[in-house]
Amino acid sequence: MPSILITTFFFVVSSFIQIIFWCCLLMSFGTFNNINDALYFSATTYTTLGTGKHVLVAPFRMLEPLEAATGMLVVGLNTAVLFSIFNRTANKRSHMDEFLK
């Protein structure tokens, strides 16, 4: 069970780092004047919440669906890894139960 908690913590931290990366990328393009707005936009887009409060200007509009797709793919990958760890843990436990009988 601790391996699942550690992995989940790692996934949360890595997702936050990716959101910060997207925020910095948008700031470097000059699409936002304020880091708070860029971080808010990146967090809502990465998690596919997409409030629509901010819209990117024409040359950078394709970054928004790219960031949302990245967020969805990472969530799917994280889910697959967690289920793999859970499955491996459950198999080890069932083999141990058979051994102890």
How many domains is the chain built from? 1
* pLDDT value of residue 99: 57
Predicted TM-score (pTM) of the model is: 0.79
CA-closest candidate to residue 68, choices 50, 87, 92: 50
**Domain range holding 28?**
2-100
What residue has token string 């859970």? 86
Count other C-beta atoms under 10 Å from residue 19's C-beta: 20
User: Splitting the chain (101 residues) into consecutive groups of 10 residues, what average pLDDT does each group show?
Assistant: 83 94 93 92 89 80 91 93 87 65 58
Residue 72: which CATH number? 1.10.287.70
* pLDDT value of residue 98: 60
